[in-house]
Chains A and B, each alone.
Chain A
């Protein structure tokens, strides 16, 4: 159930939190690869890791305990602290 609130601001800003702009290049960035624990997500991420490393990005690997729940807050903080970009493997 979502909670519906009335915006108390002058409504000059968008209501949603906007996505951050896409980086122009991955060279020199640190990319987090988050395995959400769906089967074969690791296969997909292993290949991404190879391709990213070839393109000059540093790669860090993370995994959620289960795909059924949001990532634990500590994990989110850790990724935010260490990575410029994160890629999640969502598919089976």
Chain B
């Protein structure tokens, strides 16, 4: 008669075997287990069917896999020797010599080959492994649990709860959360930032939840964490960026070795769609501002028009192909450091110049395009970023123009003469009051123009990314190191 016991304490002495009926090797060693049970103290655990193996006085039910998980079983059959509660030896699969050595019984398994490999333990089935991990580690997750009933479509349910930017989001199950948190060494309960506009403390775990929603892979999480840290500083002023009627949103540029190691795009279509890391890192930061900070369009987000970059705008700088130092280095970090720089922008607008072969001519084209940020007649209004493509950067690089030189030349070209910018000039009422236009005024505040390098190898096009109010009353770009 077969007696079944559920789980129970592991025996302190003797042999332990873990098997499953589904495994042909386990079925082949069924008579061997009966031989062993007759000769020595043997405890058998069955992973899938407690009526298997037959011919034993007792088989313990491990269909819940508690014992298999605790023993770290990877293969069935596994035979263990236990002495005083500790494992002293282990054999995986059927190997006559090992089984004989473990048991001290000679001549086991007549008719069987000397060796036959086993099968994978049920604990390693992907779904089961997730379930076991949640059982072991789920208590690490402090977030409130939200139940979605089986009558609800899970994707519709997430939209209904307001967790989405309008596109489908990935349900943050406990298993996905634990996998996401594998992407960082930081503790789940570490506070990353206080997130505007509602000023809510945000832990690593909450960032991870939004990274899951956004579709990130775990290795992107450190970049998302750094971006959230950068965006939630007084200098960046995410509250203002979210709340303003202007359409800018936070964008991220990534520098250093992490960019290529997680497969970010700095080349063809760098500012566009199609790269998972670019797309989901930017989206995850936006979702943190929405879900944790409460920056919801129509609520605190009052943008008149908004911009598509408010779904996501994140790219890597092309450092290898650049004639200049990386943005993160010009912003004070050591070369080779992985970093994010977060800046407010309405998104890119192309500047086509396919004729200029001198830096002087090309700088004039770029300055003409930069002048139109906010309004062509407004000096000291909004910040801007300039993404110079490889073919344009080559013109500057070959002429020996450093990035500093380019910035200085653009600054000089963007001294706006009073005659062109006073109210009414050019038939446009917008402009500077007569009294304020005593002399030329700079287009951008000092430090209000940021230059970076990205894009495909072909195309004499760069991009102007108009920003928002710079400096104290607005938003200043913020750079943060990416920490593992």
Contacts and interface: CB of A to CB of B under 8 A. Distances in A.
Interface of A: 1-12, 15, 17, 70
A9 B173 CA distance: 14
Contact of B173 (A3, A11, A70): A3
B200 A8 contact: no
Contacts of B151: 70
Contacts of A15: 144-146
A9 B292 contact: yes
Contact of A11 (B141, B144, B177, B195): B144
Contacts of B154: 3
B294 A10 contact: yes
Given A3-B147, A3-B154, A4-B147, A9 B174 contact: no
Contacts of B212: 8
B293 A10 contact: yes
A6 B174 contact: yes
Contact of B171 (A5, A11, A17): A5
Contacts of A4: 145-148, 173-174
Contact of B209 (A1, A8, A70): A8
Contacts of B177: 6
Contact of B291 (A1, A10, A17, A70): A10
20 contacts: A3-B147, A4-B173, A4-B174, A5-B146, A5-B147, A5-B158, A5-B172, A6-B172, A6-B173, A8-B163, A8-B209, A8-B210, A8-B291, A10-B198, A10-B202, A10-B206, A10-B291, A12-B294, A15-B144, A15-B146
Contacts of A11: 143-144
Nearest to A70: B151
A62 B210 CA distance: 41
Contacts of A1: 150
A42 to B, nearest CB: 26
Contacts of B141: 6
Contact of A5 (B148, B195, B198, B202): B148
A10 B293 CA distance: 7
A58 to B, nearest CB: 29
- Is chain A's binding surface mostly helix, strand, loop or mixed? loop
A5 B157 CA distance: 11
A4 B146 CA distance: 6
A65 B222 CA distance: 52
A21 B288 CA distance: 31
B147 A2 contact: yes
Interface residues of B, number: 34
B287 interface: yes
Nearest to B158: A5
B261 interface: no
A5 B145 contact: yes
A12 B173 contact: no
A10 B292 contact: yes
B287 A8 contact: yes
- Is chain B's binding surface mostly helix, strand, loop or mixed? mixed
A75 to B, nearest CB: 14
B139 interface: no
Interface in B211-252: 212-213
B200 A6 contact: no
A6 B209 contact: yes
Contact of B195 (A3, A10, A17): A10
Contacts of B146: 4-7, 15
B149 interface: yes
Contacts of A12: 198, 200, 294
A9 B205 CA distance: 11
Contacts of B291: 8-10
Contacts of A3: 147-148, 150, 154, 171, 173
Given A6-B146, A7-B144, A10-B293, 18 more contacts: A2-B148, A3-B150, A3-B171, A4-B146, A4-B148, A5-B146, A5-B171, A5-B173, A6-B145, A6-B173, A7-B146, A8-B143, A8-B213, A8-B291, A9-B291, A10-B198, A10-B291, A11-B143
Nearest to B287: A8
A8 to B, nearest CB: 4
Q: Which 9 residue pairs of A and B lie closest in terms of their CB atoms, listed nearest first?
A: A10-B200, A8-B209, A6-B143, A7-B144, A3-B148, A2-B147, A9-B291, A10-B292, A6-B172
Contacts of A70: 151
B198 A8 contact: no
Contacts of A7: 143-146, 209
A70 B145 CA distance: 24
Interface in B273-325: 287, 291-294
A8 B22 CA distance: 40
Nearest to A1: B150
A1 B212 CA distance: 22
A73 to B, nearest CB: 11
A10 B141 CA distance: 14
A56 to B, nearest CB: 34
B132 to A, nearest CB: 15
Contacts of A9: 163, 291-292
Nearest to A6: B143
Contacts of A10: 195, 198, 200, 202, 206, 291-294
